[in-house]
């Protein structure tokens, strides 16, 4: 067991013990539903083991899988650093930026294929698309195909000059890629639009700095409210700080928990769910995955261990061994976990919840369940959270529901309970690094960016300093 733990690497390293398996062809089957027929498509799996740690990559084409396997073997021969997160070797000559580079190239290459002067759907457009697909691969094939070579030459000859791209062309681009390319009746998420636009804006901004352009056309492009996202969380804004007006106190959290169990249609089973989010700082998806064995409830205090997060991912985006229902904690590896204290005031309530709603026969039994199934967060929001929030924090009837003049608490989110817990820890003077570890933020800087406005005493101390300075500057009256 100790050898297996030593073999787990989370940072890039040079593998010593290597084992490759031949490329394996498999068939992916999608289950038929009343709204869509079943289907099956081939895929090719590359499986290898480095120093006892097993890795897996799936490809839609056999040639791509073979090229990837050859690239892995070449990386082992040249003793390059292997990135276990990206599941590829880091070549200093080809990958100067190991993190985020492939995602950036994927978005920018979609942009490059849009701003060309060839007709859409033509053979030239298909050749350019093949070339851009090759450019987007983290590990490129050793030898490009003839079509890819032609596409690269066409892209260089038919790319639109920056000076000919104005506001109208950019707005057309945003409108086109705001629609899901696979399902035209759907729209992509606002975060996808923001990421794509942010990369493109940086290219134009650099062109202005280098005096290639005199005016940045993006300065006049206004994204739709949906593309900006709720809360205007743009790429420049970075981490959005927690709003102090949406932070609840302990009494309000208890009132909200009682309102959810009284006004909603689920009953008392949701009271402990709300209390765990509001006092222990768990995300809703994390609280959904708690099991009885994760709770350590004493007489006056307790602890809980967060190990997994609820998710819903289509099978086509997962490896064969991944669970589509339960995933790792946000930004963490699958084996990572964190311990969070349970205040003594809610320990008896959680113990009562387990005695009432859990059988107690297995430590793997879900703490929060309904009809022996985990909570469906979307249904919980419609049937429990929204009615309870309206009863406790009613909106103004004379204003539109989306009006900015509405009381902020009338738009309280479930995630705001997590902010309330973190604010509670800070008000109790818990060390900031301990709060960061309890909350599960990966870096202390991110925790401070979110919660530095909630650290108590800052404003009072600032007022005292200003008054002290003014007392020294203002002359005494005669």
The average pLDDT across 379-388 equals 92
Give the pLDDT band of residue 96 (cuts 50, 70, 90).
very low
Tell me: do 212 and 280 sit in the same domain.
no
* 436 belongs to a structural domain: yes
Among 57-71, 154-168, 240-254, 330-344, the range scoring the smallest mean pLDDT is 154-168
Handedness of CA 328, 331, 337, 340 (dihedral sign): negative
* 132 belongs to a structural domain: no
Tell me: do 15 and 31 sit in the same domain.
yes
* 219 belongs to a structural domain: yes
Tell me: do 205 and 255 sit in the same domain.
no
Give the pLDDT band of residue 394 (cuts 50, 70, 90).
very high
Tell me: do 62 and 201 sit in the same domain.
no
Tell me: do 351 and 402 sit in the same domain.
yes
Among 227-236, 247-256, 325-334, 420-429, the range scoring the smallest mean pLDDT is 227-236
**Residue 211 to residue 69: CA distance in whole angstroms:** 44
The average pLDDT across 399-412 equals 85
Q: Which of 67, 71, 107 is nearest to 91 (CA)?
A: 71
What's residue 353's pLDDT? 93
Give the pLDDT band of residue 47 (cuts 50, 70, 90).
very high
User: Cβ–Cβ contacts within 10 Å for residue 148, how many?
Assistant: 21
Which DSSP symbol is given to 478?
A: -
User: Which CATH number covers residue 265?
Assistant: 1.10.443.10
Tell me: do 291 and 423 sit in the same domain.
yes
Q: 395 pLDDT exceeds 60?
A: yes
CA distances to 125, 181, 254 from 120, in Å:
6, 14, 59
Q: 39 pLDDT exceeds 70?
A: yes
* 95 belongs to a structural domain: no
What's residue 232's pLDDT? 42
Tell me: do 398 and 283 sit in the same domain.
yes
Token representation of residue 216 = 């940045």
**Residue 95 to residue 90: CA distance in whole angstroms:** 6
Tell me: do 281 and 225 sit in the same domain.
no
Of 215, 238, 261, which closes a domain?
238
* 153 belongs to a structural domain: no
Mean pLDDT of the chain: 81
Of 221, 238, 255, which closes a domain?
238
Token representation of residue 58 = 């799936």
Among 126-130, 235-239, 254-258, the range scoring the smallest mean pLDDT is 235-239
* pTM of the complete model: 0.53
Total tally of structural domains belonging to the chain: 3
Which pLDDT tens digit goes with each residue over 320-364? 677 888 888 988 888 889 999 999 999 999 999 999 998 877 889
Q: 48 pLDDT exceeds 70?
A: yes
Asked whether the beta carbons of 374 and 366 are under 8 A apart, the reply is yes
Which pLDDT tens digit goes with each residue over 160-203? 887 788 888 888 888 887 887 777 777 887 777 776 777 677 77
Residues 440-472: b if buried by 16+ CB within 10 A, e if exposed = bbeeeeebbbbbeebeeeeeeeeeeeeeeeeee
Tell me: do 303 and 226 sit in the same domain.
no
Give the pLDDT band of residue 104 (cuts 50, 70, 90).
low
Angle at 285 between CA 339 and CA 325, to 5 degrees: 110
Percent of the chain with pLDDT over 90: 31
**Residue 457 to residue 194: CA distance in whole angstroms:** 36
* 282 belongs to a structural domain: yes
Among 213-217, 428-432, 453-457, the range scoring the smallest mean pLDDT is 453-457
What H or E segment, with its residue span, contains residue 83? strand 81-83
What H or E segment, with its residue span, contains residue 81? strand 81-83
Among 95-109, 264-278, 362-376, 463-477, the range scoring the smallest mean pLDDT is 95-109
Token representation of residue 129 = 């698309």
What's residue 449's pLDDT? 84
* 216 belongs to a structural domain: yes
Of 180, 210, 238, which closes a domain?
238
**DSSP helix/strand/coil, 463:** helix
For residue 256, count CB atoms less than 10 angstroms from its CB and return exposed for 0-12, middle for 13-18, buried for 19 or more: buried
Q: 317 pLDDT exceeds 90?
A: no
Token representation of residue 161 = 């000059």
CA distances to 40, 166, 188, 468 from 411, in Å:
43, 38, 24, 40
Tell me: do 263 and 402 sit in the same domain.
yes
Q: What is the DSSP string of 230-272?
A: TT---TTT-SPPPPGGGPPPHHHHHHHHHHHHHHSSSGGGGHH
Residue with tokens 């298909």: 126
What's residue 114's pLDDT? 78
Taking the C-alpha atoms of 210, 211, 212 and 215 in order, what is their torsion angle to the nearest 10 degrees? 120
What's residue 235's pLDDT? 39
Higher local confidence (pLDDT), 173 or 281: 281
* 392 belongs to a structural domain: yes
**Residue 300 to residue 345: CA distance in whole angstroms:** 8
Tell me: do 350 and 427 sit in the same domain.
yes
Could you list the residue range(s) of the whole structural domain that residue 414 is in?
245-454
Tell me: do 258 and 406 sit in the same domain.
yes
């Amino acid at each position: 067991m100790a050898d297996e733990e030593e073999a787990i690497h989370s940072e890039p390293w040079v593998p010593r013990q290597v084992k490759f398996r031949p490329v394996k062809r498999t068939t992916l089957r999608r289950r038929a539903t009343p709204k869509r027929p079943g289907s099956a498509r081939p895929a090719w799996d590359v499986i290898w083991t480095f120093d006892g740690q097993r890795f897996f990559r799936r490809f839609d084409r056999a040639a791509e899988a073979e090229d990837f396997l050859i690239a892995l073997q070449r990386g082992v021969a040249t003793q390059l650093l292997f990135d276990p997160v990206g599941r590829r070797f880091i070549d200093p000559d080809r990958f100067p930026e190991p993190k985020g580079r492939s995602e950036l190239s994927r978005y920018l290459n979609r942009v490059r294929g849009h701003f060309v002067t060839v007709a859409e759907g033509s053979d030239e457009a298909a050749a350019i698309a093949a070339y851009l697909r090759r450019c987007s691969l983290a590990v490129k094939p050793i030898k490009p195909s003839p079509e890819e070579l032609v596409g690269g030459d066409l892209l260089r000859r038919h790319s639109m000059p920056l000076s000919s791209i104005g506001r109208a062309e950019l707005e057309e681009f945003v409108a086109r890629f705001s629609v899901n390319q696979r399902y035209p009746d759907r729209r992509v998420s606002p975060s996808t639009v923001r990421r794509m636009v942010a990369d493109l804006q940086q290219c134009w901004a650099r062109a202005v700095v280098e005096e290639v352009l005199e005016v940045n056309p993006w300065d006049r492009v206004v994204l739709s409210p949906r593309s900006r996202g709720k809360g205007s969380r743009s790429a420049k804004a970075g981490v959005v700080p927690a709003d102090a007006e949406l932070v609840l106190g302990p009494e309000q959290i208890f009132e909200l928990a009682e309102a959810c169990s009284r006004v909603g249609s689920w009953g008392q089973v949701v009271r402990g769910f709300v209390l765990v989010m509001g006092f222990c700082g768990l995300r809703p998806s994390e609280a959904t995955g708690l099991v009885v064995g994760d709770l350590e409830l004493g007489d006056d205090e307790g602890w809980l261990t967060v190990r997994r997060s609820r998710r819903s991912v289509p099978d086509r985006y997962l490896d064969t061994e991944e669970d589509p229902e339960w995933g790792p904690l946000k930004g963490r590896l699958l084996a990572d976990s964190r311990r969070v204290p349970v205040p003594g005031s809610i320990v008896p309530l959680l113990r009562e919840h387990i005695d009432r709603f859990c059988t107690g026969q297995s430590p793997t039994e879900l703490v929060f369940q309904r009809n022996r199934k985990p909570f469906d967060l979307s249904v919980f929001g419609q049937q429990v959270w929204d009615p309870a929030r309206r009863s406790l924090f009613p909106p103004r009837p004379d204003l539109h529901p989306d009006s900015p003049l509405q009381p902020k608490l009338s738009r309280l989110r479930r995630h705001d309970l997590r902010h309330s817990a973190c604010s509670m820890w800070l008000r109790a003077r818990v060390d900031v690094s301990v709060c960061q570890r309890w909350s599960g933020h990966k870096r202390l800087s991110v925790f401070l960016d979110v919660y530095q406005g909630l650290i108590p005493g800052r404003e009072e101390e600032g007022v005292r300093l200003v008054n002290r300075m003014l007392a020294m500057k203002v002359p005494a009256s005669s």
